[in-house]
Amino acid sequence: MTSNRTATSRRTAAFTLVELLVVIGIIAVLIGILLPVLGKARDQANKTKCLANLRSLGQGLMLYAHDFRDRLPNSNPPATSSQSAATNEIDYVLVKFYELHSKSVGVFHCPSDNDPVQQTVSNAVIGFANSARISYDFYSVYWVPELGPKLAHIKDGPLAWDLKGAEPTPSIYQNHGTTGGNVVYADGHADWQPAKEWDGWNWPHPAALRYQ
């Protein structure tokens, strides 16, 4: 009698082990299916948050222009453009924009960006700690001061965008890979612009136009 009970117990234990292995296998398959889906959902949520950041920056830039006779942040030397990495004056003007018209430092950082979140905005050098340009770039710093830029003249041009969103080679500066980036425009709207539509690797359409 005892021998029969032992045999039955062993068979039951063996059957339970098989069930356990089946369950583990099913869980592994489900994880394999769900992980890519969850990753895509996370990326989409980050893109949405990034778009909201750029909308906030766009609103702040419009407020800045309202206070400075329609001019957007720019302190380039005469007849010079794109000097933001070399002059303290350019750094200062974007820092001043942050101090006067930004709700919080968080809007300067894309949630998909692997760089540390800024503790403050103290400069505007691409890639520097606490820079206004860790995640995003600003159209106005690329203008010679004699041509503006004035908000009213830019029309549907871009104000700010995901840094290097169309660079074909993966870069540490990109927020969402090589597929494109979010852009906020002078007319107030913001959207995702695929890389194939950009005018250059860090130049969303229609940034190549020079508005007068």
CA atoms within 13 A of residue 88's CA, in its CB half-sphere: 0
Residue 127 lies in a domain: yes
Within-domain flag for 68: yes
Q: Which residue has the higher pLDDT, 112 or 89?
A: 112
178 within a domain of the structure (yes/no): yes
Tell whether 137 is covered by a domain. yes
Higher pLDDT, 108 or 9: 108
Whole-prediction pTM value?
Answer: 0.78
- Rounded to the nearest integer, the mean pLDDT of the chain is 83
Q: How confident is the model at residue 95 (pLDDT cuts 50, 70, 90)?
A: confident
Q: How many domains does the chain have?
A: 1
The residue type at 159: L
Residue 51 in any domain: the answer is yes
In a domain, 207, yes or no: no
Residue 171 lies in domain: 2-197
φ, ψ for residue 42, nearest 5 deg: -65, -45
Among 188, 183, 176, residue whose Cα is nearest residue 203: 183
Residue 202 lies in a domain: no
pLDDT at 91: 58
The predicted-structure confidence for 17-51, as pLDDT tens digits, reads as follows 777 787 788 888 877 776 776 657 788 899 999 99
pLDDT of residue 111: 94
Let me know if residue 170 belongs to a domain. Answer: yes
> Could you tell me which residue, 147 or 118, shows the higher pLDDT?
118
Structure tokens at 20: 């356990």
